[in-house]
Amino acid sequence: MNCTDFELAFQERLDARQLELTDDLRAHTATCADCRAFWQSQSGLMKATSDWTNPAEPPQLLQSVLNELTSDTPRVVRADVPVRTPSRAGIWVATCSTAALLLAAVLLGIAPTPNGSPLVPSEVVITPPAEPDAPMMSGLLTGVRTEYAELSQQTTRVLDEWSELPRTPTLIPAFAEPNAAPAGDSPTWLRLDRPVSDRVGQAFDFLWDAVPQSASRSS
């Protein structure tokens, strides 16, 4: 028996709460000082734990638990009554749906304000900053304004041209109605092109007005 075998066999006996060594284990401890020392230290530890009894619990513990259980009795009774509470997922779905609807309304500019006008204002007054902009910020804002202007013009042009492009009803057969107009006439849904392009143009105008004018003047 080598030391590894001894340790494994000894641990098995400890797991079975058996402290006495078998003959082969005892023979190994007679020849190996390390394993004998290990066995003696473990034996001492086991003897210590054999006297390890449960400590005396505090006398007021039982009454404290009983008091806590008694004081919460109404809550235990109410637990049997099913109570419908909104689930967390339901709250999230409702919140996200509302946010999505509001966002769509704002983007399309159709959400009315209390006085009946659209949310997108016709004129936006931007208060100029109290202090002059730093050169770096001015350059950055000028670049943003230039890019927005170009993007706005390109988008408006593309949308204007898009409504004039030739279309055939076979491109989107799902939208084709049984009593559709003859070829050459645009379907009803295509007439939304012009209002959509107008709305997008208004949005870009709003962005254009929102950028401080001092940035472009400083450049």
Partner 1 sequence: MDDVRLVERCRQGDSAGVREFLERFQGPVFGVCLRWLGHRQDAEDVTQETLVRAVRHLSHWDATRPLMPWVLTIAVNRCRTLAGKRNRRGVGLEHGETMAAPHQRLSTTDLGEELQLALAELRDEYRTCFVLFYQQEQSCQQIAEILNCPEGTVKTWLHRARKELAETLKRRGVVTEDGYELHGF
Helix (H) or strand (E) holding 88: helix 88-108
Report which of 41, 35, 42 is spatially closest to residue 6, judged by C-alpha positions: 35
Close Cβ partners of 194 (under 8 Å, ≥ 6 residues apart): 163
Shortest Å distance, C-beta 39 to partner 1: 9
User: Does residue 3 touch partner 1 according to CB under 8 A?
Assistant: no
Of 3, 5, 30, 41, the residue at the interface with partner 1 (CB under 8 A) is: 41
215 and 133 Cβ atoms separated by less than 8 Å? yes
Q: Look up residue 113 and give its amino acid.
A: T
Q: By C-beta, is 24 or 72 nearer to partner 1?
A: 72
Q: Please calculate the CA angle 37-41-42 and round it to the nearest 5 degrees.
A: 115
| Contact string (CB under 8 A) for partner 1, positions 162-181, x = contact | --------------------
Of 61, 81, 83, 171, the one binding partner 1 (CB under 8 A) is 61
Whole-number minimum distance, CB 27 to partner 1, in Å? 19
> Can residue 153 be called a binding residue for partner 1 (CB under 8 A)?
no
Cα-Cα-Cα-Cα torsion 183, 189, 193, 196, nearest 10 degrees, comes to: 180
Rounded to whole angstroms, the Cα distance separating 33 from 35 reads: 6
The answer to whether residue 42 forms part of the interface with partner 1 (CB under 8 A) is yes
Place of tokens 């003859």: 182
Work out which of 15, 20, 23, 164 binds partner 1, going by CB under 8 A.
Answer: 15
Residues 17-36 that bind partner 1 (CB under 8 A): none
41 or 188: whose CB is closer to partner 1? 41
Closest CB to partner 1 among residues 57, 131: 57
CA-CA distance, 214 to 210, in Å (whole number)?
A: 11
Distance CA 116, CA 111 (A): 9
In the complex, least distance from residue 106 CB atom to partner 1, rounded to whole angstroms: 43
**Chain residues that interact with partner 1, rule: CB under 8 A:** 11, 14-15, 37-38, 40-42, 44-45, 47-49, 51-55, 57-58, 61-62, 64-66, 68-69, 72, 76
